[in-house]
């Protein structure tokens, strides 16, 4: 494809396989129609499409509140613990890993470390964090729309008790920030009663689409990243993704090709990169697409891999295993670099690499891998972003959100709900003895006894 006038660029030259141009163009036309459904708020789940306008409609007063709270946390904390799970965690972690990957990153230096908690019910994990916080000044940002998500609620309870023990109740209040529903929920009531600083979660934005709200912007600001530039990058990508003609629209093309490859028997999409900075982008991407698409017996299974590391574990399967997958390989066109130096007669045999940069080696490895996988019957889509800056991160988030939403509509499902997530929660709360679940608990325990 020709280079597009957009921050995130799709190269599908190795991904079309035996798809005909007629098929691609027909699906692109469908995608353009579904984009209008999305923008017009006429599709399923339209009440949760507030993310569409976040890059251009976030009030300056919200950004100023985030700046003020971030400055306060930076001044009194060595560690800020972000307590959340799923959409209340993955986007923020993805951004921090992505933006902090370059040596010149503004997120290094004297700004507090951002740690994450509330992502499991593991006692070992929480005890390790508590040991890490010993004798270190810390604060807590708790993120939950309802305040009842079990992993987050349990962890926050423990961390709040520790803050009170260490600093006293009055000072502990000043070290807690809640990001929650503006009007309802257990966490909102607690914050109001206790006087915590509060930032609102928009009611029309679901968790996995919330990276560009305070959920992501506050952790980014704490580390010193430019949140306005993140929104600017998202706004630039928004202009491309919502207005570019279908044939030049990378987000629509990505959505269309995913559906076509799925219809040709590909049931797994492997999100791969050759830069560790993309690891948590992949984790966020898995939630975004997995939770949005996986319903009604439909959807691609989203998996991720870190190359070249995983070429030494998954590489054999990708090359010659069941032909159930295609790859989406993401890369940045500019990143930190270093030159390799070795004598021509070096005993390790690496003299032939003398004078080459590691980025050149990495790119050649990527090209060779893509060629081998394509020859092995694995279609490969490539996504290219300019660099590891705030602008590029904002653009990447918006690109993926549009592609996911349009792809969900192409699949004939609601890409903004997650009814299946409640199934395990019903069983979990019943087994834990939550009031009101006694009948369910008895039935579940009876089934467990019978099946064991």
* Active centre residues (catalytic): 291, 312, 425
In angstroms, the Cα distances linking 376 to 45, 266, 355, 442 are: 39, 14, 32, 51
Q: What's the CA gap between 227 and 235, in Å, rounded? A: 12
Structure tokens at 425: 């929660």
Q: What's the CA gap between 18 and 23, in Å, rounded? A: 10
Q: What's the CA gap between 281 and 300, in Å, rounded? A: 18
Q: What's the CA gap between 89 and 136, in Å, rounded? A: 22
User: Residue 126: how many CB atoms within 10 A of its CB?
Assistant: 17
Q: What is the dihedral of CA 378, 384, 388, 390, to 10 degrees?
A: -120
Measured at the CA of 13, the angle between CA 9 and CA 14, to 5 degrees, comes to 110
Strands 380-385 and 9-11: antiparallel
């Amino acid at each position: 494809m020709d280079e597009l006038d957009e921050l995130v660029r799709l190269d599908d030259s190795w991904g079309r396989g035996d798809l005909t141009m007629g098929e691609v163009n027909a699906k692109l036309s469908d995608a353009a129609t579904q984009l209008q459904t999305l923008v017009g708020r006429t599709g399923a789940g339209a009440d949760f499409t507030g993310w569409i306008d976040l890059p251009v409609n976030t009030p300056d007063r919200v950004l100023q509140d985030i700046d003020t709270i971030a400055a306060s946390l930076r001044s009194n904390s060595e560690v800020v613990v972000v307590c959340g799970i799923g959409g209340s965690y993955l986007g923020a972690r993805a951004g921090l890993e992505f933006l902090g990957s370059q040596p010149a990153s503004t997120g290094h230096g004297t700004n507090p470390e951002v740690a994450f908690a509330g992502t499991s019910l593991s006692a070992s994990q929480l005890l390790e964090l508590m040991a890490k916080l010993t004798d270190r000044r810390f604060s807590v940002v708790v993120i939950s729309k309802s305040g009842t998500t079990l992993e987050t609620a349990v962890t926050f309870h423990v961390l709040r008790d520790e803050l009170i023990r260490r600093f006293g109740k009055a000072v502990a209040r000043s070290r807690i920030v809640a990001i929650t529903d503006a009007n309802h929920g257990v966490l909102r009531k607690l914050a109001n009663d206790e006087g915590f600083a509060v930032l609102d979660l928009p009611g029309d934005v679901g968790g996995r689409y919330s990276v560009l709200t305070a959920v992501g912007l506050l952790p980014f600001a704490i580390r010193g990243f430019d949140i306005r530039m993140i929104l600017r990058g998202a706004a630039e990508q928004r202009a491309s993704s919502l207005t570019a003609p279908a044939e030049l629209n990378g987000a629509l093309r990505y959505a269309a090709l995913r559906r076509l490859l799925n219809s040709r028997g590909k049931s797994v999409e492997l999100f791969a990169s050759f830069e560790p900075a993309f690891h948590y982008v992949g984790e966020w991407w898995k939630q975004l697409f997995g939770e949005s698409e996986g319903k009604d017996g439909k959807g691609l299974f989203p998996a991720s891999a870190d190359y070249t590391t995983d070429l030494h574990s998954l590489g054999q399967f990708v090359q010659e295993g069941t032909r159930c997958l295609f790859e989406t390989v993401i890369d940045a066109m500019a990143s930190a670099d270093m030159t390799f130096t070795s004598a021509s007669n070096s005993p390790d045999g690496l003299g032939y690499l003398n004078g080459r940069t590691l980025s050149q080696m990495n790119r050649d490895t990527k090209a060779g891998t893509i060629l081998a996988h394509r020859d092995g019957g694995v279609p490969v889509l490539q996504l290219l972003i300019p660099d590891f800056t705030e602008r590029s991160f904002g653009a990447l988030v918006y690109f993926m959100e549009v592609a996911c939403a349009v792809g969900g509509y192409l699949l004939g499902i609601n890409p903004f709900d997650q009814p299946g997530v409640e199934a395990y929660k019903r069983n979990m709360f019943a087994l834990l003895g939550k009031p009101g679940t006694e009948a369910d608990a008895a039935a579940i325990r009876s089934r467990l006894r019978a099946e064991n």
